[in-house]
Structure 1
Amino acid sequence: MNSEKAAPKNEFSLVLVGAGPRGTSVVERLANLALNLPEQGTVLKVTVFDPFTPGSGHVWNPKQSQNFLMNTPSSFPTVAPEREGAEPGLSFRQFVELRGDGRKLTDEHAKLIERIEPGTYPSRAIYGEYLEHVYDRSASILAAHENFSIQHVAAEVIAVRPVGNAYQVDFSSAQDSAETRQLDADAVVLALGHQPAELNPWQKQLEEAAAQAGATYMPPNVPADLDYSRFKEGQPALIRGLGLNFFDGMAELTAGRGGIFRESSTEPGHRLEYIASGREPALIVASRRGTPYWGKPVVDQFIPDEIELRYFDAPELIGRLAEARATNPAASLVFSRHIWPKLHRDILFAYYSSCARVHGAPDGLGEREFVERLEAILSAEHHEGSQVWLGELRKFIEQFPQLQWLDVPKLAKPFEEVGFNSDEQYQQSVRDYLVDNARHSTGGLDDPLSCAIMTMNAGRMLIKELIASGVIDEQSRIEEIQAHFEPLVEGLSSGPPLERIEQLLALSRAGIVSFVGPDPEFGFDEVSERFTASSPWVDAEVHTAKTMCEAMMPSNRVLQNSSALIKQLLGDHVARVHRWKNAEGESLPGSGFDVVGEPYRLVNSEGLAHRGLFVLGLQLSSAQWGTAIAAQAGDLRRPAARTLHDAANVVNEVARLAGLNGNGGLSAEQD
Structure 2
Amino acid sequence: MIIGAGPRGTGLLERLAANAAELLPADRPLHIHLADPYPPGGGRIWRYEQSPLLRMNSMAEDVTMFTDESSTIEGPVRPGPSLAEWARHTEEFEPYEPIADPAVREELRTLAPTDFPTRRAQSAYLAWVFRRAVADLPEHVTVTVHRDTARSVTGPADGPQLVQLTDGVLVADQVVLALGHLGSAPDPRHDALAAFAARHGRFHLPPAFSSDVDLSGIAPGEQLVLRGFGLAFVDLVALLTEGRGGRFEQTAEGLVYHPSGREPVIHVGSRRGVPYHSKTGYRLQGPPAPLPRYFDATAVDALLAGHGPLELRRDVWPLMAKDIGFGYYHELFHAHPERTALPWAEFLAGYDRWDWYSPELTRLVGTAVPDPADRLDFEALDHPLAGLRLDDAEQLQQHLRDYITTDADRRADLSYSADLGAFLALLSLFAQLPRVMESGRLTARSVAAELDEWWFGFFSFLASGPPGFRLRQLLALSEAGVVRFLGADLRVEADEATGTFLATSPTVPGHTVRATALIEGYLPKHVLDRTDDPVLRRLHRAGEIVEEVVDDATHTHRSGLLTVSPADGRIIDPTLGDVPHPRRTALGPHTNGRAYAAFSRPRTDSPAFRQNDATARALLRALAGRRAAESIVAAAR
Asked if TM exceeds 0.5, the reply is yes
Q: Name which of 108, 117, 123 aligns with 1:113.
A: 108
Q: Which amino acid aligns with 2:279?
A: K
Contact preservation (8 Å) 1:297, 1:442: yes
Cα distance, 1:351 vs structure 2: 5.1
Q: Give the corresponding residue for 1:7.
A: none
Cα distance, 1:24 vs structure 2: 0.9
Q: Which amino acid aligns with 2:113?
A: P
Cα distance, 1:451 vs structure 2: 4.4
Q: Which amino acid aligns with 1:235?
A: E
Q: Name which of 576, 595, 599 aligns with 1:631.
A: 599
**d(CA) in 2 for partners of 1:558 and 1:79?**
28
> For each residue in 1:135-165, what CA deviation from the matched residue of structure 2 results, as whole angstroms up to 9, or x when unmatched?
23433555xx542232122222222223241
Q: Which has the larger radius of gyration?
A: 1
Q: Name which of 304, 318, 322 aligns with 1:345.
A: 322
> For each residue in 1:460-492, what CA deviation from the matched residue of structure 2 results, as whole angstroms up to 9, or x when unmatched?
434544446638635444443344333333211
Q: Give the corresponding residue for 1:20.
A: 6
* TM-score of the two chains, using structure 2 as the length reference: 0.87
Q: Name which of 269, 272, 291 aligns with 2:255.
A: 272
Q: Give the corresponding residue for 2:140.
A: 147
For residue 316 of structure 1, give the secondary structure of its aligned residue in structure 2. Answer: helix
**d(CA) in 2 for partners of 1:313 and 1:353?**
16
Q: Give the corresponding residue for 2:51.
A: 65
**d(CA) in 2 for partners of 1:286 and 1:386?**
31
**d(CA) in 1 for partners of 2:45 and 2:273?**
28
**Higher mean C-alpha deviation, range 588-597 or range 34-43:** 34-43
**d(CA) in 2 for partners of 1:314 and 1:421?**
48
- Residue 389 in structure 1 maps to residue 328 in structure 2: no
Q: Relative to 1, partners in 2 of residues 1:463 and 1:507: Cα closer, same or farther, differing over 3 Å?
A: farther
Q: Name which of 538, 553, 567 aligns with 2:523.
A: 553
Q: Give the corresponding residue for 1:314.
A: 296
Q: Which amino acid aligns with 2:222?
A: Q
Q: Give the corresponding residue for 1:92.
A: 83
- Residue 157 in structure 1 maps to residue 128 in structure 2: no
The equivalences for 1:426-437 within 5 A come to 426-437=396-407
Which structure 1 segments of 5+ residues have no match? 1-14, 174-178, 662-671
Q: Give the corresponding residue for 1:54.
A: 40
**d(CA) in 1 for partners of 2:147 and 2:57?**
29
> For each residue in 1:417-461, what CA deviation from the matched residue of structure 2 results, as whole angstroms up to 9, or x when unmatched?
2111100001111101001101210124x2166246425524543
User: Structure 1 vs Structure 2: percent identity of aligned residues?
Assistant: 25
**d(CA) in 2 for partners of 1:32 and 1:360?**
45
The equivalences for 1:199-348 within 5 A come to 199-265=186-252, 271-300=254-283, 306-309=288-291, 311-321=293-303, 324=305, 334-348=311-325
For residue 632 of structure 1, give the secondary structure of its aligned residue in structure 2. Answer: coil
The equivalences for 1:390-405 within 5 A come to 390-393=361-364, 396=367, 400=370
The equivalences for 1:652-667 within 5 A come to 652-659=617-624
For residue 298 of structure 1, give the secondary structure of its aligned residue in structure 2. Answer: coil
Cα distance, 1:236 vs structure 2: 2.1
Q: Give the corresponding residue for 1:565.
A: 535
Q: Relative to 1, partners in 2 of residues 1:94 and 1:372: Cα closer, same or farther, differing over 3 Å?
A: closer
Cα distance, 1:531 vs structure 2: 2.2
Q: Give the corresponding residue for 1:578.
A: 548
Q: Name which of 53, 67, 78 aligns with 2:64.
A: 78
For residue 544 of structure 1, give the secondary structure of its aligned residue in structure 2. Answer: strand
* TM-score of the two chains, using structure 1 as the length reference: 0.83
Which structure 2 segments of 5+ residues have no match? 70-75, 627-637
**d(CA) in 2 for partners of 1:97 and 1:309?**
30
- Residue 133 in structure 1 maps to residue 128 in structure 2: yes
**d(CA) in 2 for partners of 1:429 and 1:440?**
17
Q: Give the corresponding residue for 2:573.
A: 604
For residue 618 of structure 1, give the secondary structure of its aligned residue in structure 2. Answer: coil
Q: Give the corresponding residue for 1:375.
A: 348
- Residue 422 in structure 1 maps to residue 422 in structure 2: no
Q: Larger RCO: Structure 1 or Structure 2 (Cα < 8 Å, ≥ 6 residues apart)?
A: 2
Q: Relative to 1, partners in 2 of residues 1:414 and 1:258: Cα closer, same or farther, differing over 3 Å?
A: same
Q: Give the corresponding residue for 1:503.
A: 473
- Residue 520 in structure 1 maps to residue 497 in structure 2: no
**d(CA) in 2 for partners of 1:172 and 1:339?**
45
Contact preservation (8 Å) 1:20, 1:55: yes
For residue 51 of structure 1, give the secondary structure of its aligned residue in structure 2. Answer: coil
For residue 533 of structure 1, give the secondary structure of its aligned residue in structure 2. Answer: strand
Q: Relative to 1, partners in 2 of residues 1:227 and 1:352: Cα closer, same or farther, differing over 3 Å?
A: same
Q: Relative to 1, partners in 2 of residues 1:300 and 1:65: Cα closer, same or farther, differing over 3 Å?
A: farther
- Residue 647 in structure 1 maps to residue 615 in structure 2: no
Q: Give the corresponding residue for 1:11.
A: none
Q: Relative to 1, partners in 2 of residues 1:308 and 1:338: Cα closer, same or farther, differing over 3 Å?
A: farther
Contact preservation (8 Å) 2:227, 2:268: yes
> For each residue in 1:603-625, what CA deviation from the matched residue of structure 2 results, as whole angstroms up to 9, or x when unmatched?
012312111211111122x233x
Q: Which amino acid aligns with 2:280?
A: P
Q: Which amino acid aligns with 1:63?
A: E
Q: Name which of 152, 159, 162 aligns with 1:166.
A: 159
Contact preservation (8 Å) 1:318, 1:471: no
**Higher mean C-alpha deviation, range 108-117 or range 556-565:** 556-565
> For each residue in 1:20-41, what CA deviation from the matched residue of structure 2 results, as whole angstroms up to 9, or x when unmatched?
1001112222333456788732
